[in-house]
Chains A and B, each alone.
Chain A
Amino acid sequence: MLFNSFEFLWLFPLLLATYWLVNRPVVRAKVPQLPNLLLIGISYGLYIKWNPAFSLLLLGVTAVTYCTGLALERVSQSKKSVLAACGIVLALLPLTVFKYADFILAQANELGALFGMEFGLPGLNWALPLGISFFTFQAVGYVADVFLGRIKAERNWWDYMLFVCFFPQIAAGPIGRANSLLPQIKSPRLFNPSQCSQGMRWLLWGMFLKVVMADRIGLVVDPILAQYQSQSSALCAMAAVLYSLQIYGDFAGYSFMALGVGQLMGFELTNNFKRPYLSQSITEFWHRWHISLSTWLRDYVYIPLGGSRCSKARSYLNIAVTFLVSGIWHGANWTFIIWGILHGLFQIAEKAVGLGKKQSRGIIKVLRVATTFVIVTLLWVIFRMPTLSDAYGFIGHLFSGFATSTITITPSMKILLLLSIVIVVFKDLIDEYLSQDKTLLHNRYRLVRFGTYIGLTVLILLCGVFDASQFIYARF
């Protein structure tokens, strides 16, 4: 069930009403597990509706990590590492096969050809299970936490099952953490009107980002990037900037909607985005973009490697390895790997010159924000293009001065694009620099708040793209 689909619009209120009905104290007193069982039923039901076979995979990853967690508390210290490693490898196996097998086989074929050997290994060409990278990392994070003694192993199978499959976050995160989500699953949720209204705000803003900005931009950007050779350099540059906004609107839109759905059900999920394009450095960008993945990589890759509490050279290597993993996590393609490596290298450079965590003011700050945005935008090109040669070709084309285009953007499309972008930029600037009671969605004046809700809803109805398109990050 996509948050931007008509199905969500009618089905979710029904599910929500049922959920709060079974969550009443009188029902909970008789069957305490019922609300969680209902959520498991909904989550698996939606997953099975998408692909019944792949739900077995979700169940398998859940079972493997659950058993590993339990076993880790029963084996001796000396065997824990081996057991944790086995559990993690087993949990990662489906992800490796479905996401990376084709890439690995293709590289093996190419490597063989280099040495004059014809392996001819056939690709699997299997569809990627929805959200596999997200739920796998969530489950692997749990095993690592139990292994490191950060949390106790979960004994209740149903609670753990819900932890892995919780439907608002299964398609594209945020990647939940056991120490934050499991206690919420285990404790009774109480209906909290202010939490619900906050959830509605997240839903509304997320919907605006997705259907008004991201999907509208997608209509323009996709054909330009597909035939960039025939478009002018200026149009390509505009497409690159627009893609930066598209992926922000798409992914942040999904994350905010997941946050909103979670809050409507009494859960507090991780906020994945904090106005990333107002970052002054790439380092800061990763503290504001896909926060749940950044913190996951920090806690389970960067810090175990030694983090920054080691020699400079080693610390730089740790950053490089962490962002290599980030690139690989995003997809089995050299474009993602190079994208990840470059993000790592920029952060190493920032660390070397002391810019990573340094905050500037005034014009310097504006220049740094603009520079960071340009770098991130160029790196998104590598991320977006199907192959590295396309990415190089596109970036080369940006600076070629090519003047003619086969694609023209209609004036009405320009108006709709500009309207959505101006609103998003305006809101993000207000959220960044003004206190919360002066922001649009939390303004102390009811008129401003209500006016914003109404204005956003009217714009969604008038300008939204309602083709229920998939979210970009759901592909990962």
Chain B
Amino acid sequence: MLVVITLLLIDQLVGRTLIWINEGTMKGDYGRNTYIATQACQDILIFGSSRAIHHYDPTLIGETLGMTCYNCGEDGMGIILMYARLQLILQRHTPKVIIYDIEPSYDLLEDDNTRYLGFLRPFYDNDTIKRICVDVSPSERFKNLSMLYRFNSRWVDIIAQRISRDPSQARDYTWAPLHGRLNAEPSLNAESPILNYDPLKLKYLQRLIECCANNDIALYFVTSPNFGNTDDKVYSPLKELAAANNIPVLNHSIDTTFTRHPELFNDRDHLNQCGATLLTKMVIQEINNQD
């Protein structure tokens, strides 16, 4: 009994300390995560995975469209985290425009959705976040009773980013352009894999659309180019969803302006700075045309 009571006390004590550390983190991914959850109040928000954070220059977008802009993209993350981030932002501020870069693996196709909850668990006390976590996996209701669990595997990064003195890790970085050049030739598309779409992800895309409509937010879906890609079949459910709700899809996934030019890519899935700037400009132009 003594062990259990001590354990519960340590769980609360260490967990609360980690929450305090996390809230004060000014650097890196966790600094950005806290900033987005508690302070971000820009007019234009960019959502999506690594392709969002590497492909869109918010300064260029903000200056051209005459509004403030912040890039909320996150490596390896998708609609579940992005929808939750929007809910946290909406609790204090309503953006005017959302540019959502769709990555099929994280926004459309099936995988273990609990992997998208890592950035959210530190904010589990927030009712909206709690609902999303439990919706993704009912067992989260019980797991998150442990304050330590909320920081599972992430506490090292959170502490390291809290004490980091590296200026390049500042949390106001909103664009991480890549500087390499792809050394490859376009190859024929491999045989199409079987596409298992994830009903939960599609549900959250639908919720995002409804949320934007209810809050008068202009939503634009963008599909970034993949090097050598000639087939955009994977985006079919997105196109259907967007068409049914009158949401523009700025489809660059098979755009030959990019797909045949290795000099615009860092790797097959990510543009380098040159390609990203070109894509940013094209997206701005298309948004202007839509307006």
Interface residues of A (CB under 8 A from B): 6, 10, 410-412, 415-416, 450, 453-454, 457-458, 461-467
Could you list some 11 contacts between A and B, CB below 8 A?
A6-B142, A410-B157, A412-B156, A416-B156, A454-B7, A462-B153, A462-B155, A463-B152, A465-B153, A466-B143, A467-B112
Cα distance, A463 to B156, chains bound together (Å): 9
* Closest partner residue, chain B, to A463 (CB atom): B153
Expressed in whole angstroms, the minimum distance between the Cβ of B31 and any Cβ of chain A is: 15
Q: How far is the CB of A145 from chain B (nearest CB, A)?
A: 42
Contact: B152 with A461, CB < 8 Å?
yes
- Is A6 a contact partner of B7 (Cβ separation < 8 A)? no
Chain B residues 1-40 with CB under 8 Å of chain A are 2-3, 6-7, 10-11, 14
- Interface pair A454/B3, CB less than 8 Å apart: yes
| Chain A hits for B11, CB < 8 A | 458, 461
Query: What residues on A are CB-neighbors of B148 within 8 Å?
Result: 458, 461-462
> Which residues from chain B contact A466 at a C-beta distance below 8 Å?
143, 152
Given contacts A412-B156, A416-B156, A462-B153, 16 further A-B contacts (CB under 8 A): A6-B142, A6-B143, A10-B142, A410-B157, A450-B3, A454-B6, A458-B7, A458-B14, A458-B148, A461-B152, A462-B148, A462-B151, A462-B152, A466-B152, A467-B112, A467-B114
Residues of B within 8 A of A415 (CB): 156
With a CB–CB cut-off of 8 A, which chain A residues contact B10?
454, 458
Shortest Cβ distance from residue A191 to the other chain B in the assembled complex, whole angstroms:
18
Say how far A404's CB is from chain B's closest CB, in angstroms. 14
Interface flag for B289 (CB, 8 Å): no
> B149 in the interface, Cβ–Cβ < 8 Å?
yes
Which residues of B line the A interface, CB within 8 A? 2-3, 6-7, 10-11, 14, 112, 114, 139, 142-143, 146, 148-149, 151-153, 155-157, 160
Q: Are B3 and A412 in contact (CB under 8 A)?
A: no
Report how far A461 CA is from B10 CA in the complex, Å: 12
Asked if A461 and B2 make an inter-chain contact with CB atoms under 8 angstroms apart, the answer reads: no
- Give the A-B contact count at a CB cut-off of 8 A: 46
Alpha-carbon distance A458/B148, docked complex (angstroms): 7
A227 CB, nearest partner CB in chain B, Å: 14
Instruction: Evaluate contact between B6 and A416: CB separation under 8 angstroms.
Output: no
Whole-angstrom CA separation of A393 from B152 in the bound complex: 36
Task: Decide: A453 and B152 in contact? CB cutoff 8 A.
Answer: no
* A450 touching B160 in the complex, CB below 8 Å, given contacts A461-B11, A461-B149: no
Given contact pairs A6-B139, A6-B143, A467-B112, A453 touches B3 in the complex (Cβ within 8 A): yes
Interface of B: prevailing SS: helix
Distance of A453 Cα from B2 Cα, bound (Å): 11
In angstroms, Cα B179 to Cα A326, docked, is 52
CA of A25 to CA of B56, assembled, Å = 71
CB atoms of B2 and A450 under 8 A apart? yes
Whether the pair B160, A412 counts as a contact (CB closer than 8 A) is: yes
Residues of A contacting B160 with CB < 8 Å?
Answer: 411-412
Tell which of A454, A465, A467 has the most Cβ of chain B within 10 Å.
A454
Complex: how many Å from CA A450 to CA B5? 11
A462 to B10, CA, bound (A): 12
Residues of A within 8 A of B142 (CB): 6, 10
Residue of B nearest to A459 (CB): B148
Minimum Cβ distance to chain A for residue B176 (Å): 16
Q: Which of A412, A416, A465, A466 has the most CB of B within 10 A?
A: A412
CA distance A458 to B151 in the complex (A): 11
Nearest B residue to A416 via CB reads B156
B273 to chain A, nearest CB (A): 21
Residue ID in chain A nearest B159 by CB atoms: A412
Q: Which of B114, B142, B151, B157 has the most CB of A within 10 A?
A: B157
CA distance A466 to B143 in the complex (A): 10
Residues on the B chain within 8 Å of A411, using CB: 156, 160
How far, in angstroms, from A458 to B18 measured CA to CA in the complex? 13
Cα separation A458 to B9 with both chains bound (whole Å):
11
A235: shortest Cβ distance to chain B, in Å? 19
Task: Return chain A residues, CB-CB under 8 Å to B2.
Answer: 450
Determine the chain A residues whose CB is within 8 A of the CB of B151 once the complex forms.
462
User: Chain B's nearest CB lies how many Å from the CB of A456?
Assistant: 10
Nearest A residue to B161 by beta-carbon distance? A412
- Closest 8 pairs (CB-CB, A-B): A461-B148, A412-B156, A412-B157, A6-B139, A415-B156, A450-B3, A461-B149, A462-B148
B3 touches A461 (CB 8 A): no
| Bound complex: CA A462 to CA B2 (Å) | 21
Cα distance, A250 to B96, chains bound together (Å): 51
Considering the chains assembled together, what is the distance between the CA atoms of A467 and B142 in angstroms?
16
> Which residue of chain A is the closest to B158 with respect to CB atoms?
A412
CA distance A240 to B72 in the complex (A): 38
The smallest C-beta distance from B6 to any residue of chain A, in angstroms, reads 6
Question: Who on chain A is nearest to B147 by CB?
Answer: A461
Closest to B157 in A: A412
Q: Which residues of B contact A462 (CB under 8 A)?
A: 14, 148, 151-153, 155
A464 with B152: in contact, given A454-B6, A457-B7 (CB under 8 Å)? yes
Q: How far is the CB of B20 from chain A (nearest CB, A)?
A: 16
Query: Which residues of chain B are near A457, meaning CB under 8 Å?
Result: 7
